[in-house]
């Protein structure tokens, strides 16, 4: 019997495993980097062990330190979570060699399937070795790991070399393994996968299908179970292939077999020898706890001959601290508040007031809805996200709501190119026109009135200014003789620092307001309170390139130096933030007049990286 589990991971998945362990009466041990010292997973565990350093390579990818932590804390089992070392056979062996129980598949099964190149050979497939013009487009892909890292689409042969270099660098940073391979890229395919679970006694479950087609940068955003629109024949074929893959490597534990489905045909992608991020939709549909089953299988127990039947439909949305309208740029800062309605499931590694750092994936939470039908589950999830309070850095919440309500998704006609086609429309600003007034009235109540209550004459108009969707809004309101507030064109029913009720054209609306510094959240609209007089020093020369996020400068364009001629859109340097590389490009064609960045520099948001003077002779 397992009595104490160390989770070799962080954030949401560590908290998820701890929750099940607590229900089973199993003690929990966390490991944490210096950056995660106060993270939720380190706080909720029964014990926590520090891994010195901040980057994944220094901490969560150090299997030797994690094994020592497990032994020191008295754990008798290790759960790898997902990502990091979850598909590392050497780490699994080190855990077993230390006398600990490995809550995962046998190391030899990991070796056979965790490398996508070896997995394809096992399934009788071979990735392209040399690329010709007729092969395009192709996908450069990391052999190890997942989560969309180390992947590049190549549409022109002349871009292949740079794509290989970038994918290798990103894969090395994220997984400690720079091996990449090349395969054909299918433009309009669906990403469909099968959850498998196997015991050590020969039973293999195929727990239905999942659709994970809505992706950005090859990383899943919205997932659902079962995958809609599949014929019975294709669904059965996918389940059979998944079971065959598991049996081929004598698999034990939870895993996922992934396919690309196009024109009614399934193409094998890979087998992930771990629990998937999207496992909650399978849990909701089949009424199981996959983590509890992982633990049971690791203890040697038998599965029932057949898996529990499916019931209803489940949809999951990943809430990220990122700005989809600006190249999905990750965001950092304080998550002041995160609450969702009780009608949905929330899996998260954050609580109110936690810091979102620069070193790790920007996923804040997974929000999951289950209902008798797909339409009901979609409506339930979209409504819950719309009513959620997400106060802090910019997130993809509005994108998620619009995606769930998009006709292509509701009618199950989506594919992996969904965001390539629809991102501009899905990120078009649609602020509430009454949000600035609600913010101004709430701020008026927050700061109080210098006039007090009743007065004999009405006050002069008060003015407050806010930035919203790139525009400045000047709001005027007045204090009434009885201590109330009024504004032209609306009736102020109620005004308090956290709640404003307005009546417009006979319709009464509620606005929940929260302010953190100069950021004001009014329902789902976010405004920035502006000072009465702008700071004249907060200006930059035209053509200035500012860091869009905190990160590390990892590469400069070859030969880049002050005085060099550059073209608009040319990549000048690369920033690494949250385990992803981000390109910084020239805003105009001209001359690089200043270069302030160097490889290895740590930069904050807004740091001046370079200045490009536009060529006026064009």
Strand partners, 224: 211, 315
Judge contact between 264 and 253, C-beta under 8 A.
Answer: no
Cβ neighbourhood burial of 435 (10 Å; 0-12, 13-18, 19+): buried
Strand partners, 588: none
Q: What are phi and psi of 412, to 5 degrees?
A: 60, 40
Q: Which residues contact 390 (CB under 8 A, 6 or more apart)?
A: 319, 337, 338, 364, 397
Angle formed by the axes of helices 397-405 and 374-387, nearest 10°: 150
* H or E, element range at 29: strand 27-33
The rounded distance, in Å, linking the Cα atoms of 371 and 369 is 7
387 included as an active-site residue:
no
Catalytic residue among 274, 318, 464, 555: 274
CB atoms under 10 Å from CB of 517, counted, come to: 9
Q: Which residues contact 232 (CB under 8 A, 6 or more apart)?
A: none
Which structure tokens are listed for 461? 């108009």
Q: What are phi and psi of 451, to 5 degrees?
A: -90, -15
Whether residue 226 is preceded by a cis peptide bond, meaning omega within 30 degrees of 0, is: yes
Judge contact between 137 and 420, C-beta under 8 A.
Answer: no
Integer-rounded Cα Rg, in Å, for the chain is: 26
Which structure tokens are listed for 440? 């101004």
Beta strands in 273-361 (DSSP E): 313-320, 322-323, 329-330, 333-335, 337-339, 345-348, 354-356
For the annotated catalytic residues, the residue numbers are 274
């Amino acid at each position: 019997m397992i009595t104490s589990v160390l989770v070799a991971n962080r954030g949401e998945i560590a908290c998820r495993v701890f929750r099940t362990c607590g229900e089973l009466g199993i003690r929990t041990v966390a490991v944490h980097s210096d950056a995660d010292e106060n993270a939720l997973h380190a706080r909720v565990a029964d014990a926590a062990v520090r891994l010195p350093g901040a980057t994944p390579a220094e901490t969560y990818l150090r299997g030797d330190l994690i094994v020592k932590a497990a032994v020191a804390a008295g754990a008798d089992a290790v759960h790898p979570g997902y990502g990091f070392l979850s598909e590392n056979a050497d780490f699994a062996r080190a855990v077993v060699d230390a006398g600990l129980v490995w809550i995962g598949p046998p190391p030899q099964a990991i070796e056979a399937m965790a490398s996508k190149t070896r997995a394809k050979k096992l399934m009788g497939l071979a990735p392209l070795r040399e690329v010709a013009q007729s092969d395009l487009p192709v996908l450069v892909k990391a052999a190890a790991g997942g989560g969309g890292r180390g992947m590049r689409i190549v549409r022109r042969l002349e871009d292949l070399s740079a794509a290989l270099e970038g994918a290798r660098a990103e894969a090395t940073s994220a997984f400690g393994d720079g091996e990449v391979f090349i395969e054909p890229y299918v433009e309009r395919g669906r990403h469909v996968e099968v959850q498998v679970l196997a015991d050590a006694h020969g039973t293999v479950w195929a727990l239905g299908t999942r659709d994970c087609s809505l992706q950005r940068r090859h990383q899943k955003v919205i997932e659902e179970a079962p995958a809609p629109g599949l014929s019975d024949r294709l669904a059965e074929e996918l389940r059979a292939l998944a079971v065959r893959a598991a049996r081929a490597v004598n698999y034990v534990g939870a895993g996922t077999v992934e396919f690309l489905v196009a024109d009614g045909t399934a193409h094998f992608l890979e087998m992930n020898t771990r629990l998937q991020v999207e496992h909650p939709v399978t849990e909701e549909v089949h009424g199981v706890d996959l983590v509890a089953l992982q633990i049971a299988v690791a203890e040697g127990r038998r599965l029932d001959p057949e898996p529990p039947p499916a019931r209803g439909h489940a949809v999951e949305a990943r809430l990220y601290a990122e700005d989809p309208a600006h190249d999905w740029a990750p965001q950092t800062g304080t998550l002041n508040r995160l609450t969702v309605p009780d009608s949905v499931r929330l899996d998260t590694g954050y609580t109110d007031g936690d810091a979102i750092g620069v070193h790790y994936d920007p996923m804040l939470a997974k929000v999951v809805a289950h209902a008798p039908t797909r339409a009901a589950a979609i409506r339930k999830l979209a409504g819950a996200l719309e009513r959620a309070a997400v106060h802090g850095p910019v997130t993809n919440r509005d994108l998620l709501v619009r995606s769930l309500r998009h006709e292509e998704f509701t009618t199950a006609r989506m594919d992996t190119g969904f965001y390539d086609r629809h991102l501009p429309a899905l990120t078009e600003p649609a602020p509430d026109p009454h949000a600035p007034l609600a913010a101004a009235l709430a701020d008026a109540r927050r700061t109080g009135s210098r006039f007090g209550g009743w007065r004999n004459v009405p006050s002069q108009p008060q003015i407050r200014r806010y930035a919203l969707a790139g525009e400045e809004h000047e709001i005027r309101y007045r204090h009434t003789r009885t201590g109330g507030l009024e504004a032209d064109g609306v009736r102020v029913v109620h005004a308090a620092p956290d709640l404003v009720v307005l009546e417009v054209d006979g319709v009464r609306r509620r606005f929940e307001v929260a302010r953190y510094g100069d950021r004001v959240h009014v329902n789902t609209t976010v405004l920035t309170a502006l000072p009465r007089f702008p700071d004249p020093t907060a200006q930059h020369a035209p053509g200035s390139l500012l860091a869009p996020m905190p990160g590390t400068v990892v590469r400069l364009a070859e030969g880049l130096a002050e005085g060099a001629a550059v073209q608009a859109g040319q990549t000048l340097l690369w920033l690494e933030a949250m385990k992803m590389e981000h390109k910084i490009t020239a805003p105009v064609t001209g001359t690089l007049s200043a270069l302030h960045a160097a490889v290895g520099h740590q930069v904050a948001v807004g740091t001046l990286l370079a200045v490009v003077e536009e060529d006026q002779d064009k």
